Amino acid sequence: MRSRRVALGITVLVSALVTVPVGVPAGASTQPAVRAEAANQTQILRVGVTQEIDSLNPFISITRTGTDILRTAFDFLTVYSQEDMSPVPALAESWETSEDKLTWTFKIREGMTWSDGQPITAEDPAFTYNLMLENEVARTANGSYVEQFESVEATDEYTLVIKTKVPQATMTALDIPVVPEHVWSTMSDVGAEPEMPMVGSGPYTITEFEEAQYTKMKANPDYWRGAPKIDEVHFIYYRNADAAVQGLQNGDVDVVNRLNPTQYDALKSDPNIELVQAQGRRFNEILINPGAATEDGKPIGSGNPALKDIKLRQAIATAIDSQTLVDKVWGGYAEPAAGYLPPIFSDFAWSPGDDVKREFDLDEANRMLDEAGYEMGPNGVRLDKQGKPLNLRLLAHAGTNIDENGGPYIVGWLKEIGINVTLEPVSDTQVNEDTTRGDFDLAFSGWNANPDPDFVLSLQTCANRPNAQGKGGTPDSFLCDEEYDRLYAEQLQELDRDKRVDLVKQMQEVLYDRATMVILGYDNVLEAYRKDAWEGFPLQPADSGVIMNQQGYWGYYGATPAGEGPVPTFDENGMMVSDSSGASDTDTTNAAGEDGGNTGLVLAIIGGVVVVLLVGGFLFARGRRRTADDRE
Amino acid sequence: MSDILTPTEEALAEAPPPTRGGGALRYLLTKAGGGLVSLVLVIVLGFLLFRVLPGDPVLTMTRGRPASKEQIAELEAQLGLDKPLIAQFFDYLWRLLQGDLGESYVFRVPVTQKIMERLGPTLLLVGTATLIAVALGLWLGTRSAWRRDSRFDKVSTSVALALWSTPTFFLGLLLMAATSGWFPTAGMVNSDTPPDFFSQAVDVAHHMVLPTITLVAVVYAQYQLVMRSSLLEEMGADYLTTARAKGLRDAMVRRRHAVPNALLPTVTLVFLHMGFVVAGAITTETVFSWPGLGLLTYDALEKRDLPLLTGTFIVLAGAVIVMNVLADMLYRVLDPRVRAS
């Protein structure tokens, strides 16, 4: 009898376990389906993010998603404009520089408040920067910005004075969230997770964080630029990008980014989805090892010495066709190569003039190599000056589109000009380590450039090479060029923007000529949102930009629900231009959303019923079989 | 999943140690001692394994954003990576003795806290799925063995094998697409669910449906197959003939005589699996963004978060070892042959 009781127990257990989750959809689906906007007019923007938040501490967070949220919660002294990412006033309404370019005086806007009602004064940025100067933990995320600071002081309630050790052109690009002194001065550990809700100064404040699940932000009604149109922004974490796309189609989230071309193309047929093809901040490149060395010039690594010859490098650059890579590897969702800085940064971007431009031409590349004395050896492989065949390794990131799919094209083109290339796909970290040590001939690389180009430009300076231990520094192409370094130092101290832009363009021309790297192209950022629920979002830059991961907060700040008038734009002072307040404020309930909701509910009920029937059937069959058994 | 079968088979093949009087305690001590040795090995290995992997954590953290040499050096000092490896190892041992697994590089919180946060969701999901899978597997396995080569046997065995061979992420995405809109696509609970217990519980259950089905579908086959084959071995046994000769009904013969004997290997397998329950199901958790330990491990590996990796490794391996020891004990209780010798 005992065994029967056990069997019965198992049956009950199984059916309980099966029915509990299953009985649920009928009741539970009301939550995701019938959206809150219908219930109490709370308008929520649900953002699907595919990266986990490391921390919501503005001094610690370094991830894309973490900084994206923090940028929206804490304003900066100055922010990058929506229009073209030039620095515009934020907490500081104006600023001036001393004669010697070492003292910066920022005038802090009066009348702004933190989300808890306390006034924002010059003491707050002074506290934030000084904390970073004093406390190494506070320097974790944004330490590089304060490295050249001599002192920071609030001389009166609305005046902030920063003295720097050397002239710095990046002072209007301090990407440091300013925190409230009255909250953070009482924290014993600046590296700890801040308490919720967080006191902030941005268009939204962070109110709730659920580990690896979601982060909630509420509109800040006292935001000094004016309150956002919507009530809340929820960032919902997806570990799997395909699931995020499915979530967008189901209406679980309203906007997703970083789609791959396949996902993007698949969404084209969905009538409720609007697609955004934006210019990206990333440049992709092939590094050509020009003879890696440490910062004191000691050669390191195992690069092929033949590549020290600029003629050989230029010939390789001539034999790489960016347009083919754009079409075949990126499926057209990219822009062909020009200068070092991506075209999204329209003022700093440079493209080679006709006099210096290298058009893709295999015959020309062959001619260049013939001229430079690389004789064709047996098997169609040229010989270097020592008579050894030109065999090169091409280090690639395994699993990365451009590396895996672009690699074979590059191998093919170089074979045409008599260079034998072996593609070596390895893990990302392996690529990083090998390139840092100089253990490569050719390697795929790429960086996300910032609106202020200083950082990516610094990558190609002599000073950025590793130290004797092969540590420190994040070398890129191991270029060490006198002219480039001179221009680099000059632009860093040039406070006139037009003159600086000119210097930066000259630097890119030098890079292009030295050919220690070949730009392959700039891939687009692909985003999608529900157009049945959303009118749109302010893009950055305004004509070809992104919604998410902006260098600022315009996209989330100006989120406009469907039927609530035009999407705002922001002028050169960062103020909202086309404010639609009062325009078409008729209560447009989101018809599509509600439709979807009801369908979802019905389907959920059907789903629940089906599973209950299945379980019931299973139990019934079991019962019948038992009687059948008993009869035997 | 097939790799999981091997330890069982090994455990079964291993002859139980001969025991004399008072052997129970000795048996227990031997097994516990063996477990302890394994645990120490895991602790040492946990430290070394992730440190010989290529990938400098500081480089990974700073790659692609402004970071000066000074900042990199500062980060290394903060994380204690500037010390020699041996010093780092003793630091780690000393802290471990105090029950401290260190601090995560990425999250900047104690690893223990991070693991405890994620343990609940994993136990809930994988525990539920394992219970269902065990029940389903045992029942199907018994039925197919008893009616060997019947249509039921053929169909259920092939379905089980087909599901077992389906890649988990594929099955998960397929289910998600097929049930489009019925179930949530990510997480454990919606961001706007009311905070009261009932709504939360209902929402969690709603979120659990798809991951649970995926997990069950992929793992139940092994229980079914082991149950089926061990019951088949018993089928020809003399004692069954005897039982039938006594006039017992067929169902009774099966339930009272055949199944209890055939259950032995299956129970061991189930117990061994309990250890892996803690490890979660990395793929399932990844597809459904379930905030469990598996997801945490995956993320930590990607970010080269060494303390977190070591911590999860110790916890996961520790769970397997503990369950292994328990399975050995249980085996002794279940099988009189192990006791008497």
Q: Which CATH number belongs to the domain containing residue B256 in this structure?
A: 1.10.3720.10
Question: CA nearest A538: which of A180, A132, A183, A72?
Answer: A72
What's the complex ipTM? 0.78
CB contact under 8 A, A243 and B193: no
Residues A321 and A393 in one domain: yes
Which residue of A294, A429, A599 is the best one to mutate when testing the B interface, meaning the one whose CB has the most B CBs within 10 A? A429
Contacts of B173 in chain A (CB under 8 A): 240, 242-243, 246
Judging contacts by C-beta atoms under 8 Å, the chain B residues touching residue A294 are none
Q: In the 8-state DSSP scheme, what is residue A299?
A: B
List of chain A residues whose C-beta atoms are within 8 Å of the C-beta of residue B75: 140
Contacting residues of A for B174, CB less than 8 Å apart: none
Confidence of residue A533 (pLDDT cuts 50, 70, 90): very high
Name the H helices within chain B.
Answer: 2-13, 23-52, 57-62, 69-79, 85-97, 111-146, 151-165, 168-178, 197-235, 238-245, 250-252, 259-279, 282-287, 293-303, 306-334, 336-339
Residue A8 has pLDDT above 80, yes or no: no
Q: Give CA–CA dist B157/B141, Å, rounded.
A: 8
Q: Is the pLDDT of residue B108 over 90?
A: no
Given a contact cutoff of 8 angstroms between Cβ atoms, the answer to whether B285 and B215 are in contact is no
Q: How many domains does chain B have?
A: 1
Peptide bond into A451 cis (omega under 30): no
Mark yes or no for CB contact A191/B291 under 8 Å: no
pTM of the shown model: 0.79
- The answer to the question of residue B14 being in a domain is no
For residue B287, the enclosing domain spans: 20-54+101-340
Regarding whether A382 and A518 lie in a shared domain, the answer is: yes
CA B75/CA A605 separation, integer angstroms: 53
Chain B residues within 8 A of A211 when measuring between CB atoms: 117-118, 291
Residue of A nearest to B299 (CA): A52
* pLDDT-wise least confident of A45-54, B136-145, B271-280: B271-280
- Of the residues B183, B196, B298, the best mutation for testing chain A's interface (the one with the most A CB atoms within 10 Å of its CB) is B183
* Number of CB pairs, chain A paired with chain B, less than 8 A apart: 220
Query: Domain check: are A92 and A163 in the same one?
Result: yes
Q: Which residues of A touch B183 (CB under 8 A)?
A: 25, 604, 607
Measuring CA to CA, which residue among A123, A124, A117, A144 is closest to residue A133?
A: A144
The number of angstroms, rounded, from the C-alpha of B257 to the middle of its chain's C-alpha atoms is: 31
Residues of A in contact with B68 (CB under 8 A): 143-144, 147
Of the residues A482, A507, A523, which one is the last residue of a structural domain?
Answer: A523
What would the two tokens of residue B27 be? 């048996």
Task: Give A212-246 pLDDT, tens digit per residue.
Answer: 889 999 999 999 999 999 999 999 999 888 899 99
Report the domain count for chain A. Answer: 3
Q: How far apart are CA A501 and CA B222, in angstroms?
A: 66
What average pLDDT does the segment A52-58 reach? 86
Q: What is the pLDDT of residue B66?
A: 60
R_g over Cα of chain B: 24
CATH number, position A550: 3.40.190.10
> What's the pLDDT at A31?
38
| CA distances, A595 to each of A3, A46, A533, A608 (Å) | 51, 18, 12, 20
Classify residue A491: in a domain, yes or no. Answer: yes
Cα separation, B33 vs A553, whole angstroms: 59
Does residue A104 have a pLDDT over 90? yes
Residues 6 or more apart whose CB falls under 8 angstroms from that of B9 comprise: none
Integer CA distances (angstroms), A345 to A89, A293, A501, in order: 19, 31, 11
Nearest alpha-carbon partner for A208 in A176, A182, A235, A190: A235
Judge: A239–B286 Cβ closer than 8 Å, yes or no: yes
pLDDT score of A40: 53
Give B74's contacts in chain A (Cβ within 8 Å): 136, 139, 143
Beta strands in A457-562 (DSSP E): 517-523, 525-530, 534-536, 560-561
B53 three-state secondary structure: coil
What residues does A256 pair with on adjacent strands?
A48, A528
Give me A25's structure tokens.
Answer: 């959809």
Q: Are residues A296 and A238 in the same domain?
A: no
pLDDT digits (tens, 9 = 90+) for A155-178: 999 999 999 998 888 888 888 999
Closest CA to A625 of B226, B255, B239: B255
- In B, which residues are within 8 Å of A15 by CB distance? none
Looking at A125, A151, A184, which one is the last position of a domain? A184
Which amino acid makes up residue A191?
Answer: G
Is a pLDDT exceeding 50 seen at residue A15? no
Q: A624 in a domain, yes or no?
A: no
A308, A291 contact by CB (below 8 A): yes
pLDDT over 60 (residue A209)? yes
Q: Is residue B6 part of a domain?
A: no
pLDDT of B9: 44
What residues have CB less than 8 Å from A235, skipping those under 6 apart? Answer: A47, A49, A53, A65, A69, A214, A215, A216, A217
Residue A61 forms part of a structural domain: no
Q: How many CB atoms lie within 10 A of CB B265?
A: 18
Nearest to B210 by CA among B229, B230, B184, B191: B184
For every residue of B159-188, DSSP letters joined together read: HHHHHHHS-HHHHHHHHHHHTTTTS-SSSS
**Residues A302, A154 within the same domain:** no
Q: Are residues A537 and A567 in the same domain?
A: yes
Q: How confident is the model at residue B258 (pLDDT cuts 50, 70, 90)?
A: confident
> For A363-395, what is each residue's pLDDT tens digit?
999 999 999 999 998 888 999 888 899 999 999
Inter-chain residue contact B181 with A234, CB threshold 8 Å? no
Residue-wise pLDDT for A20-31, tens only, equals 443 333 333 333
**Which residue in chain B is spatially nearest to A43 when comparing CA positions?**
B192
Stronger pLDDT, A53 or A94, i.e. the higher one: A94
Average pLDDT over chain A, rounded to an integer:
83
So what's the pLDDT on residue A34? 38
- The Cα A155–Cα A159 span in angstroms is 6
Evaluate the CA torsion angle A535, A541, A542, A544 in order and state its sign: negative
Give the alpha-carbon dihedral of A433, A437, A438, A442, to 10 degrees: -10
* A250 and A44 Cβ atoms separated by less than 8 Å: no
- Give the best-scoring range by mean pLDDT among A109-113, A449-453, A465-469, B147-151: A109-113
Cβ(B188)–Cβ(B120) under 8 Å? no
pLDDT bucket at A596, cuts 50 / 70 / 90: very low
Give A243→chain B minimum CA distance, Å: 6
> What pLDDT does B55 receive?
64
Among A143, A216, A632, select the one facing B249 at the smallest CB separation: A632
Does the pLDDT of residue A584 top 60, yes or no? no
Is residue A629, in this structure, part of any structural domain at all?
A: no
Matching residue, tokens 């001179």: A486
Interface with A, mutate which of B176, B185, B254 (most A CBs under 10 A): B185
Structural domain range at position A40: 10-51+200-280+525-605
Whether residue B339 is predicted with pLDDT greater than 80 in this model: the reply is: no
Question: Is B180 close to A250, i.e. CB distance below 8 A?
Answer: yes
Token pair 């390139």 in the structure block, residue: A435
A21–B67: do the CB atoms touch at under 8 Å?
no
DSSP assignment letter at B325: H
From B83's Cα to the closest Cα of chain A, the distance in A is: 14
